[in-house]
Structure 1
Amino acid sequence: MTNEFTWKVGGAQGEGIDSTGEILATVLTRMGYYIFAYRHFMSLVKGGHTNYKIRANNEEQVDYHGDTLDILIAFDQTTIDENEDELITDGVILHDAKFAGTSKRDSLKICSVPMSQMAKDLGNVIIKNMVAAGASSYVLGIDPNNFYEQIEAQFGKKGAELVELNKTAFNKGYDYVKENYADVQRPVPAATKPATPRLLMTGNESIGVGALMAGCRILAAYPITPATEIMYWLLGNMKDVGGKVLQAEDEIAACIMAIGANYSGVRAMTSTSGPGLSLMMEAIGMAGISETPLVIIDVQRGGPSTGLPTKTEQSDLNGALYGSHGEIPRVVLAPTSIEDCYYQTFHAFNLAERYQCVVIVLSDLLIGMNKMTLDTIDLNRYSIDRGEMVTQEQLDALEKGAFKRFALTESGISPRSIPGMKNGRFCALTNEHEETGLEIEDVPMRKAQMNKRFRKMETLAREVNEWGVDYQGAESPELLLIGYGSTKAQIAEAVKNLDGMVVGHLQLRAMMPFPSDAVKRRIDAAKRVIVLDNNFTGQLTGLIHREIGYHDKTETLTKYDGNPFTVGDILSFVKG
């Protein structure tokens, strides 16, 4: 018996696929399992194929949903057709008896369960998801009492009648499989219930928590998959700290609202995906030249245009690095996990105010909309740093009208006042300006202000080599795998499977300023270098080439079909 197992439920959208998966995910987490829950869905309200996969381990944290599958719950034939290749040799399929349930693989154990009919007999067709949960409970060898607790917690407020209905549906599924397919049971490894409940959260929720803890009090956004859940989470929690969530008419307005809030001294952000980021480009330039702090969360999805709204990709990198007309200093961060979404978001607010610039956090659908179990989050890793905020005492010491908001300092960081501070007024202009903010077009001051704005990135460019990369492996590996953001888990797992090979794994968390020294050192020491790019053109590879070269040493593994890299993808490319 191994320490882990995988389970998936699939069907047409609108059949309760997510709710079925959520029930099991929550039960397993409460029992003490570490899980990663992955949602595959289409941009449809009803119809199309969707599935929900859970990978669970009784001992170790799980960061990726895995390549293989032990048990498949199928509400339609499409689910079998599209997922049976993922099943292990003796995998189990539990399918709704409303269809034949055929498979092209003879080694699989196929069980027909009248899920829809049982639900219909109970007077509620959608409750077949609870029948499926009961069937799964028997196959996995999980005590039904664990599900009863979840049913009571989930439906208790809606009345005892609904609780009993769900328990009855669950028991029907459990008993049917027990009576008709007793030999199909695959007891899962026992888990120990933790003394302190663990977290089960998505990357979008983690971003929301990070923003709240960093002192963000305004989110201005327009709903867009896969970033909308950030808005939903903050909508439910921002009010507890006196904050506001503003739904703008579009992403242009949302970005400008966030800039205005930051200008007024309130920590604010906007959240979006690729199409929204495109619309924000002019406003990003405005924040850059006015040196107004701004945090933008981009939960990437498949493009271009509306592209693949419900699929993952990492193709917004170039837009985040270079988008907007003209040239401005900016910071681009890339969380490497659901947990790291918290840390990178908190850090983003500090960097935005410390360097008075735009900070873009590049998440993606893989970590944004999927869940994993975390023991805890270190709430003390970062504390709020508001940067060069001028004090009232400092302003009082100046002559009237002498405050220079855009003073030409050696560090490039100028003192910042907020509206309402006596003697702290300045001209807030989006044209090029002199030190007090008045518009200019003379050559020396233009050059001086451009130099000043970019000078403040020099300090950050040095420090980013310390925290901008994660490295695991030998000092001189024969193979170096490089990724950014959410590819970390699959690369790490692939490394474990490359027995007999000395492998290094470099994961980038900072994309701009680029951690040139840290990356160059690792590439120098490796014999072979493979860069993973979840896009068509190899944007990370191109960034490495622009920053430090190595055109002749880097190979690129790309994927752009809307799905995340699998461990198998990496191993196949390495072994060639």
Structure 2
Amino acid sequence: MLEQLSWKVGGQQGEGIESTGEIFATTLNRLGYYLYGYRHFSSRIKGGHTNNKIRVSIKPLNAISDDLDILVAFDQETIDVNVHELREGGVVIADAKFNPELPEGSSATLYAVPFTEIATELGTSLMKNMVAVGASSALLGLEPEVFREVVEEIFLRKGTSVVEKNMEALKAGAAFFIEKAENGNQLQLKEADGKKRMFMIGNDAIGMGAVAAGSRFMAAYPITPASEIMEYLIKKLPEFGGAVIQTEDEIAACTMAIGANYAGVRSFTASAGPGLSLMAEAIGLSGMTETPLVIVDTQRGGPSIGLPTKQEQSDLMAMIYSTHGDIPKVVMAPSTVEEAFYDTVEAFNIAEEYQCPVILVTDLALSLGKQTVEPLDFSKVEIRRGSLQNEDQLTEQEKGEYYKRYELTETGVSPRVLPGQKNGIHHVTGVEHDQTGKPSESATNRIEQMEKRLRKVEALPERFPTPVHIHAPHEEPDLLVIGINSTRGAIEEAIPRLEADSIRVNHAHIRLVHPFPKHELQPYLTKAKKVVVVEHNATAQLASLIKMNCDVKAIENVLRYDGNPFLPGEIYQTCKELI
């Protein structure tokens, strides 16, 4: 019996591939297995190859697997594109409708199951995905009834007869496989612990984090891979008295979020690289007016339209430097779905405490990859609103005087008031201003206000919870491997393989991108014989940030920018070659 296996379903986009994977994975999650899923899909509504690869284990995991145990194919293209991933003794379950064939030399076992024919005989070819799930369940030795709870959740709104028809299709697929296949249980998994855990994508975790943080307004324009955040909150925010507005573009979304924050409502927007480009001027407005702002950037392939549905990490420099002029800015980078939840809460806190724009950056694999998550601890959620003043704290002004909204303070953070508060009247403008907000071109004032704004975030790396995730068992490692966002799981899985080859490896994963945690990272750079930076872009942006901020002699770059996520084996092999 196996402790883990990898299962993939593929076919043409629009023929139920996503729902097939969802039913399969959700059921196994309910049984207590740990899962990690990654979808390959095209930037179109229908047509084009798509697949969903799901890794299943009795132990926690945070990366997709190097190889594949089971491939469920709805067309020949799925076999042709994915068969190379199958390990020795892997299995292909394919729809008999297209007369499936394995390429010459393949060691896989092919089972042709009439998905479409069975489904059609039961009433509609649309149920072919249920037949495929049934065949997969038979291969794994799972009883079809374990899928009933999930099937009911999906189809019960259409009536009990629809539920029973889908269960009938699932059972028919299992029965056919058992009858025709020899050694049908050869890939049976060990029994899971049965514990209930969450199973969700990073975007859902961000949406939950926004609600938990007290955000009650989101303005956004749909864009892959960020749209699920907006879709989640369209359903959830009204339950808490909040609202989501779909704007005409990302410029409007960002400025609307700034306006709502100015009025005192915790607000944010979410987008991807193209949207972030459009927001650049508005981000500067947030910095100059010292209005809190949270932006979620879900990185994807660029530039321009680029690869809308593919993995990349090429927005790092844009997030830090695209805004003209000098403003305080914070860029945070969660590395797991669980961190995405807690970091979203922290992003809202930091935005209000430091009165500046905060960008929460993910990548497509983290935003849309579905992972098992332990139950979230809501007791950890803390809402901090910084120096927001209540009316008791506002003293009456002399006639003609205005409130010093931009007062020069030692920390750089000025007391903040909401519009309409008594004794809090002040100017708000995007031009340089004095302590009351009144426009000013005085050279002395300019220096004072600029230095005030910039010193706000200087000490943030020391106060930030885990600015760098460190795993450093070795005092003098052969390698220090550095990554960001979703590469964490693949790196962590590669390290034991390197250690087995007597290569001493430490690992640093960047969690605070800007201001860069140079003091926290420097000791580990100094100790390492060789530094390797793993990232998804062509120009080594993370490595460049490290060189700009830290003392490091040389960095070996491990880059991938073909739209696919790193596999643990690729990182292992590349790092081994660098020694």
After TM superposition, the score normalised by the length of structure 1 is 0.97
Aligned to 2:505: 503
Aligned to 1:487: 487
The answer as to whether partners of 1:355 and 1:456 remain within 8 angstroms in 2 is yes
Aligned to 1:476: 476
Aligned to 1:558: 559
Q: Deviations over 1:49-91 (max 9, x none)?
A: 1001111112x22211211111000001111111111111000
Aligned to 2:34: 34
Aligned to 1:364: 363
Q: Deviations over 1:230-287 (max 9, x none)?
A: 0000011001111110110000000000000000011000000000000000000011
Aligned to 1:522: 524
Deviation, 1:378, is 2.1
Aligned to 1:428: 428
Q: Write out aligned runs for 1:90-489 (5 A).
A: 90-104=89-103, 105-185=105-185, 186-194=187-195, 197-400=196-399, 401-464=401-464, 467-474=466-473, 475-489=475-489
Q: Deviations over 1:136-187 (max 9, x none)?
A: 0100111111012322232222212101110111111111111111323221
CA RMSD of aligned residues (A): 1.2
What amino acid sits opposite 2:468 in the alignment?
V
Give the 3-state SS of the residue equivalent to 2:318 in structure 1.
helix
Give the 3-state SS of the residue equivalent to 1:187 in structure 2.
coil
Q: Distance in 2 between matches of 1:423 and 1:41?
A: 56
Q: Distance in 1 between matches of 2:360 and 2:42?
A: 25
The answer as to whether partners of 2:409 and 2:452 remain within 8 angstroms in 1 is yes
Q: Distance in 1 between matches of 2:255 and 2:87?
A: 51
Q: Distance in 2 between matches of 1:180 and 1:510?
A: 55
What amino acid sits opposite 1:433 in the alignment?
H
Give the 3-state SS of the residue equivalent to 1:467 in structure 2.
coil
What amino acid sits opposite 2:260 in the alignment?
A
What amino acid sits opposite 1:487 in the alignment?
T
Deviation, 1:467, is 1.7
Aligned to 1:573: 574
Q: Distance in 1 between matches of 2:462 and 2:63?
A: 32
The answer as to whether partners of 1:38 and 1:52 remain within 8 angstroms in 2 is yes
Q: Distance in 2 between matches of 1:383 and 1:152?
A: 37
Deviation, 1:47, is 1.3
The answer as to whether partners of 2:63 and 2:568 remain within 8 angstroms in 1 is no
Give the 3-state SS of the residue equivalent to 1:47 in structure 2.
coil
Deviation, 1:456, is 1.0
Q: Distance in 1 between matches of 2:328 and 2:520?
A: 21
Deviation, 1:548, is 1.1
Aligned to 1:82: 81
What amino acid sits opposite 2:283 in the alignment?
I
What amino acid sits opposite 1:50 in the alignment?
T
Q: Distance in 2 between matches of 1:399 and 1:485?
A: 52
Deviation, 1:441, is 0.8
Picking from 533, 545, 554, the partner of 1:531 is 533
Deviation, 1:397, is 4.7
The answer as to whether partners of 1:142 and 1:188 remain within 8 angstroms in 2 is no
Deviation, 1:101, is 1.8
What amino acid sits opposite 1:293 in the alignment?
P
Q: Distance in 1 between matches of 2:37 and 2:570?
A: 20
What amino acid sits opposite 1:570 in the alignment?
I
Q: Deviations over 1:345-400 (max 9, x none)?
A: 11100000000000001111101012111121122223000001122112135445
Q: Deviations over 1:446-476 (max 9, x none)?
A: 1110000011112214334x62001113232
The answer as to whether partners of 1:61 and 1:374 remain within 8 angstroms in 2 is no
Q: Distance in 1 between matches of 2:443 and 2:150?
A: 68
What amino acid sits opposite 1:372 in the alignment?
Q
Deviation, 1:123, is 2.8
What amino acid sits opposite 1:574 in the alignment?
C
After TM superposition, the structure 1 stretch with the greater mean CA deviation from structure 2, 142-151 or 246-255, is 142-151
Q: Deviations over 1:112-154 (max 9, x none)?
A: 0111111222231221000001000100111111012322232
Q: Distance in 2 between matches of 1:52 and 1:99?
A: 20
Q: Deviations over 1:211-243 (max 9, x none)?
A: 111111100000001000000000110011111
Give the 3-state SS of the residue equivalent to 1:544 in structure 2.
helix
Q: Distance in 2 between matches of 1:461 and 1:565?
A: 28
The answer as to whether partners of 2:461 and 2:467 remain within 8 angstroms in 1 is no
The answer as to whether partners of 2:471 and 2:506 remain within 8 angstroms in 1 is yes
- Distance change >3 Å, CA 352–CA 41, structure 1 → 2: same
What amino acid sits opposite 2:576 in the alignment?
K
What amino acid sits opposite 2:68 in the alignment?
L
What amino acid sits opposite 2:519 in the alignment?
D
Task: Give the gaps of 5 or more residues in structure 1.
Answer: none
Q: Distance in 2 between matches of 1:109 and 1:479?
A: 40
Deviation, 1:208, is 0.5
What amino acid sits opposite 1:390 in the alignment?
Q
The answer as to whether partners of 1:219 and 1:244 remain within 8 angstroms in 2 is yes
Q: Distance in 2 between matches of 1:371 and 1:120?
A: 31
Q: Distance in 1 between matches of 2:111 and 2:559?
A: 38
After TM superposition, the structure 1 stretch with the greater mean CA deviation from structure 2, 62-71 or 344-353, is 62-71
The answer as to whether partners of 2:329 and 2:357 remain within 8 angstroms in 1 is yes
Give the 3-state SS of the residue equivalent to 1:14 in structure 2.
coil
What amino acid sits opposite 1:451 in the alignment?
E
Q: Distance in 2 between matches of 1:408 and 1:233?
A: 41
Q: Distance in 2 between matches of 1:568 and 1:81?
A: 22
After TM superposition, the structure 1 stretch with the greater mean CA deviation from structure 2, 172-181 or 251-260, is 172-181
After TM superposition, the structure 1 stretch with the greater mean CA deviation from structure 2, 113-122 or 252-261, is 113-122
Q: Distance in 1 between matches of 2:106 and 2:232?
A: 45
Q: Distance in 1 between matches of 2:148 and 2:354?
A: 52
What amino acid sits opposite 2:310 in the alignment?
K
Deviation, 1:524, is 0.4
Q: Distance in 2 between matches of 1:31 and 1:381?
A: 28
**Percent of residue pairs identical:** 47
Q: Distance in 2 between matches of 1:485 and 1:89?
A: 32
What amino acid sits opposite 2:503 in the alignment?
M
Q: Distance in 2 between matches of 1:391 and 1:319?
A: 37
Q: Distance in 1 between matches of 2:37 and 2:458?
A: 41
What amino acid sits opposite 1:329 in the alignment?
P
